[in-house]
């Protein structure tokens, strides 16, 4: 009986460790090209100029976070005159009800796009 309890406890611990050991965010990896595919920020259409990976993911060719720069224009202007800087964080894939990414530190700055 005691041996059965030990086996049951060991099995439970192994399953718990497998379930908790690999968080979904740790396996999310985006390329710079994926990060640069964002087209709208805070309801404003943008053209992404550059994204640079800042937090390496476990996947060899991807990142979990990016620092990005985009450009947008005020209505009626022929060129981008507003710079948008932000940090993009890739979220768990394959969940249609949830967004694919989150933005933080979003700043709109006027009169010039780097």
Question: In order along the chain (114 residues), what is the average pLDDT of each group of 10 residues?
Answer: 40 36 57 92 93 83 92 86 93 69 91 61
Task: Report pLDDT for 108.
Answer: 92
Per-residue pLDDT at 55 = 83
Q: Is residue 13 one of the residues assigned to a domain?
A: no
Let me know if residue 69 belongs to a domain: yes
42 within some domain: yes
With CA atoms as reference, report the closest residue to 90 among 46, 39, 41, 29: 29
Residue 30 domain-assigned? yes
The total number of structural domains in the chain stands at: 1
* Structural contact between residues 42 and 73, judged by C-beta atoms closer than 8 angstroms: no
Which residues constitute the domain of residue 74?
Answer: 24-109
Q: Is residue 63 part of a domain?
A: yes
């Amino acid at each position: 009986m005691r041996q059965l309890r030990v086996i049951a406890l060991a099995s439970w611990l192994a399953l718990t460790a497998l379930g908790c050991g690999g968080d979904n965010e740790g396996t999310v990896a985006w390329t710079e090209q994926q990060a640069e595919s964002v087209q709208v920020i805070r309801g404003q259409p943008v053209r992404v100029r550059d994204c640079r990976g800042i937090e390496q993911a476990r996947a060899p060719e991807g990142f979990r976070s990016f620092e990005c720069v985009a450009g947008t224009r005020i209505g009626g202007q022929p060129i981008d005159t507003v710079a948008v800087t932000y940090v993009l964080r890739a979220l768990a894939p394959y969940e249609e009800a949830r967004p694919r990414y989150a933005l933080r530190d979003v700043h709109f700055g006027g009169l010039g796009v780097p």
